[in-house]
Amino acid sequence: MTMPVHSPLSLAAFDLSPERGFLPATDPLDQLPEEPIVNQIGTELPKLLTARQFRQFIQDRSEIMGPVADDWGLDVFRSAMRTLSFAGHAYVWEDPDHPADRLPASIAGPWYRIAQQLGRPPVLSYASYALHNWRRLDVHKPIELGNIVLLQNFLGGLDEEWFVLIHIDIEAKAGSGLQGLVHAQNAAQTDDADAVLAGLHALAAAQEAMRETLLRMPERCDPYIYYSRVRPYIHGWKNSPALPQGLMYEGVTDYAERPQQFRGETGSQSSIVPALDAGLGVAHADDPLTQYLVEMRDYMPPRHRALVSALEARVDGQQRPLLYGYARDRKATNPQLWKAFCTCVDLLAQFRDIHVGYAERYIFRQHQSHASNPTSVGTGGTPFMPYLNKHLEETKQLIQD
């Protein structure tokens, strides 16, 4: 059977690079031009939250920023989205026993308009929490732990900072792996086995670096502190026991005075694992987590989810995932190729296994003290433990005879 013809993939076509992966091409802006109140919120939010004065700060002001202009540019929109997303969640969750079910128009209006520009819903998502929320201490040095700090926090402190920085470091390390994956896909299309092997080796090297970073999470992020001080603010308002109807966005005419339900921030909104699943051909049988992960794509930047879709579309003449079919068909004639492919799948399983352990330790085993911060439900609003283990087993199954 002949191979279907696919045009070559390139990271640049999706605004990505091997140096930065899904991180932005330019370092994020730390403040907005000529928006003093929004910039004040960005600076003082941890203090206002500590004093439980943030809601009052917002209620005392009929406006917090000027009109949103269509020509601001991507960097400005991302910076505004970051600050407003933190502000929106801070307003809702400032008092965990009494979350706000209405968001004032001063936040809701500009947040909605900027979210529309970015192709994402007006809720804190991974892009604003991590991808667009860092600066380098030395701009001449890499984007990595030891040289990056956050631009925006909720309460601040070592544990919150470290939790997010781990994700940013992983994103940076993933870039060369994504490049390897794309090269391997393209080489399989042209039947260049040596290039496929080189691409898989590059992917595996990046995956090993990502794994080593993930293993460092406990160094400076304590499970209790994460659960009780970091996690409460990143919940959303879909499947939320504390906000069963969702959140009213005052003044947003497109919502017609109806409460909206959006998922909370979660690492499931990172495009790395979905891209690896798609590129390596890891399939997940239908379950609540699988459905949820598809939904999470709506929270990704549009170009990122486009790459995942493009990788999923690469199949061979038997409608198998392209790389999987190519490597498996050469299992006897080119065992190195199959071994390299299996190594990448195994490293993905290892990454998932570490994550399952953290989910249990940092969330599931903790003592629930507020309905707004349940231990059995993820920040995205779904039960997680049984399905995380199922997805881990499905990853392993791909390379088992």
Query: What is the CATH number for 148?
Result: 1.20.58.480
pLDDT at 339: 98
What's the 3-state SS for 250-295? CCCHHHCCCCECCCCCCHHHCCHHHHHHHHHCCCCCCCHHHHHHHH
Tell me the average pLDDT of the chain: 95
Q: Which residues contact 309 (CB under 8 A, 6 or more apart)?
A: 278
Residue 385, pLDDT above cutoff 80: no
With respect to residue 72, please indicate whether it lies within any of the assigned structural domains: yes
Q: Which amino acid, 163?
A: F
With respect to residue 373, please indicate whether it lies within any of the assigned structural domains: yes
With respect to residue 1, please indicate whether it lies within any of the assigned structural domains: no
Q: Quick one: pLDDT band at residue 3, thresholds 50, 70, 90? A: low
> What are the beta bridge partners of residue 249?
103
Lowest mean pLDDT of 122-126, 146-150, 207-211, 363-367, name the range: 363-367
With respect to residue 4, please indicate whether it lies within any of the assigned structural domains: no
With respect to residue 6, please indicate whether it lies within any of the assigned structural domains: no
Residue 1, pLDDT above cutoff 60: no
* Tens-place pLDDT, residues 285-319: 888 878 888 999 999 999 999 999 999 999 998 99
For the chain, how many structural domains are there in total?
1
pLDDT at 288: 80
What residues make up the domain containing 199?
A: 11-397
Q: Quote the tokens at residue 83.
A: 């600050």
With respect to residue 187, please indicate whether it lies within any of the assigned structural domains: yes
Q: Give the C-alpha separation, 341 to 361, whole Å.
A: 31
pLDDT at 287: 81
Share of the chain above pLDDT 90, in %: 87
With respect to residue 160, please indicate whether it lies within any of the assigned structural domains: yes
With respect to residue 311, please indicate whether it lies within any of the assigned structural domains: yes
